[in-house]
């Protein structure tokens, strides 16, 4: 991988994404078979969280441990970050103690700024714009179960949020056709749409009806209607997204045997029905597990000597 950081999938080539996925498969194999893979012995990852997390925090911390290293948790509120210390100073300080930084925050520009001033790799653990680690895990899970990505149709139903942005980029870069259904006013980021419309080969469409997006899909993916930081918009969004629930009736339009993915946490009865969630729980929790393996691949590729 030629990249020094993982800030967004737009920065990676399809080959680099595939390299991460291949490495992730190896990490999973090693972990399952008890093969020692302590490639990051003695190294430390600082994890900055300015938003809540269960999966990201645990999978990064456990991942660093399994790689022979150490991870430390820095809460935005309790560190000087929450008291306004400039991100460029945080970057320069952490670069002198640690070997990598994972950050979950609001603005993508904060992550880009951190990377600009850090002399160690920076990994985006979710911003309002992107969730690259999650989408690497999603792609890994689809490839594991369907043996390929190229030529498959991925449908995303819901808000044009960080997940939609990263799925569009990741899916298209891996040769998948991507169809996104969002209500008007909730489109993916314009930079992502510009990228998607310029892609040659795989097909991309942005539509207003979930049934259109799901038609013939191999993988159907959804996410919450109100992301972290949008709690006050919850009621407005529930009205805007009426009809965007991934339920059994909608899935009848997809290819028989289609997969369902959800990054979690899920709101049953909103973006996904309880029935569909439970029918596809095995795939959804495999996706959650694969965060661990995919992130270990990223950490290894960015932080190894
Ligand atoms: N999917 C995901 O990123 O989960 P957390 O918010 O629990 O980290
Ligand atoms: N779109 C969601 C993803 C959570 C993992 C959020 O940003 O809250």
**Cα–Cα distance, 221 to 119 (Å, whole number):** 36
pLDDT (tens digit per residue) in 241-270:
999 999 999 999 999 999 999 999 999 999
What residue has token string 């460029």? 88
How far is it, in rounded angstroms, from Cα 153 to Cα 99? Answer: 38
Residue 3 has pLDDT above 90, yes or no: no
Task: Work out which ligand 2 atom sits closest to the CA atom of 227.
Answer: 8
Q: How far is CA 101 from CA 39, 95, 128, 133, 281, in A?
A: 17, 8, 18, 14, 31
Look up 208 and say whether it is catalytic.
no
The predicted-structure confidence for 79-90, as pLDDT tens digits, reads as follows 999 999 999 999
Q: Clarify whether 223 is annotated catalytic.
A: yes
Q: pLDDT at position 2, please?
A: 86
The pick from 106, 223, 287 for probing ligand 2's pocket by mutation, whose C-beta has the most ligand atoms within 8 angstroms, reads 223
Q: How far apart are CA 68 and CA 114, in angstroms?
A: 25
Using the mean position of ligand 2's atoms as its centre, give its distance from the Cα of residue 38 in Å. 31
* E strands present in 161-251: 177-181, 204-207, 219-222
Give the pLDDT confidence score for residue 1 in this predicted structure: 85
Q: Which of 45, 27, 44 is nearest to 36 (CA)?
A: 27
What's the rounded Cα separation, in Å, for the pair 215 and 258? 11
Is 131 annotated in the active site? yes
Nearest ligand to residue 264 Cα:
1
Note whether 163 and 133 are within 8 A (CB).
Answer: no
Ligand 1 atom nearest to CA at 57: 8
Residue identifier of the C-alpha nearest atom 3 of ligand 1: 56
Q: Distance, CA 134 to ligand 1 centroid (Å)?
A: 8
Known active-site residue 212: no
* Ligand 1 center from residue 51 Cα (angstroms): 10
In the numeric block, the tokens 């109100």 are attached to 226
Q: What percent of the chain lies above the pLDDT cut of 70?
A: 100
pLDDT at residue 286, rounded to an integer: 98
Question: How confident is the model at residue 233, as a pLDDT?
Answer: 98
Q: In what order do the strands lie in the sheet with 44-49?
A: 70-75, 44-49, 100-104, 122-124
pLDDT tens-place string over residues 159-208: 999 999 999 999 999 999 999 999 999 999 999 999 999 999 999 999 99
| Mean pLDDT (the chain, rounded) | 98
Contact (CB, 8 A) for 95 and 120: yes
The string of pLDDT tens digits covering residues 97-116 is: 999 999 999 999 999 999 99
> HSE-up of 276 (CA within 13 Å, CB side)?
26
Give pLDDT, residue 248: 98
In sequence order, which ranges of 151-209 are alpha helices (DSSP H)? 162-173, 190-198
């Amino acid at each position: 991988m030629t990249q020094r950081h993982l800030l967004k999938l737009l920065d990676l080539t399809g080959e680099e994404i595939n390299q991460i996925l291949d490495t992730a498969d190896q990490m999973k194999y090693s972990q399952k078979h008890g093969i020692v893979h302590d490639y990051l012995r003695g190294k430390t990852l600082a994890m900055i969280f300015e938003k809540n997390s269960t999966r990201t925090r645990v999978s990064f911390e456990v991942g660093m441990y399994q790689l022979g290293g150490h991870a430390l948790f820095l809460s935005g509120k309790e560190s000087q970050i929450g008291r306004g210390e400039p991100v460029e100073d945080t970057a320069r300080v952490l670069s002198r103690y640690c070997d990598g930084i994972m950050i979950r925050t609001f603005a993508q520009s904060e992550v880009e700024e951190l990377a600009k001033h850090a002399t160690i790799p920076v990994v985006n653990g979710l911003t309002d714009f992107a969730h690259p680690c999650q989408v690497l895990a999603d792609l890994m899970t689809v490839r594991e179960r369907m043996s390929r990505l190229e030529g498959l149709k991925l449908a995303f139903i819901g808000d044009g949020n960080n997940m939609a942005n990263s799925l569009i980029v990741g899916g298209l870069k891996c040769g998948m056709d991507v169809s996104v259904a969002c209500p008007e006013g909730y489109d993916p980021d314009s930079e992502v749409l510009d990228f998607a419309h310029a892609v040659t080969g795989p097909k991309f469409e942005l539509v207003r009806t979930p049934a259109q997006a799901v038609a013939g899909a191999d993988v159907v993916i959804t996410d919450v209607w109100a992301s972290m930081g949008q709690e006050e918009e919850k009621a407005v969004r529930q009205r805007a997204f009426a009809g965007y629930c991934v339920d059994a009736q909608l899935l009848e339009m997809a290819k028989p045997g289609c997969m369902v993915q959800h990054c979690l946490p899920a709101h049953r009865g909103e973006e996904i029905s309880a029935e569909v969630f439970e029918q596809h729980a095995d795939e959804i929790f495999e996706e959650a597990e694969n965060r661990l393996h995919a992130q270990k691949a990223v950490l290894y590729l960015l932080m190894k000597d």
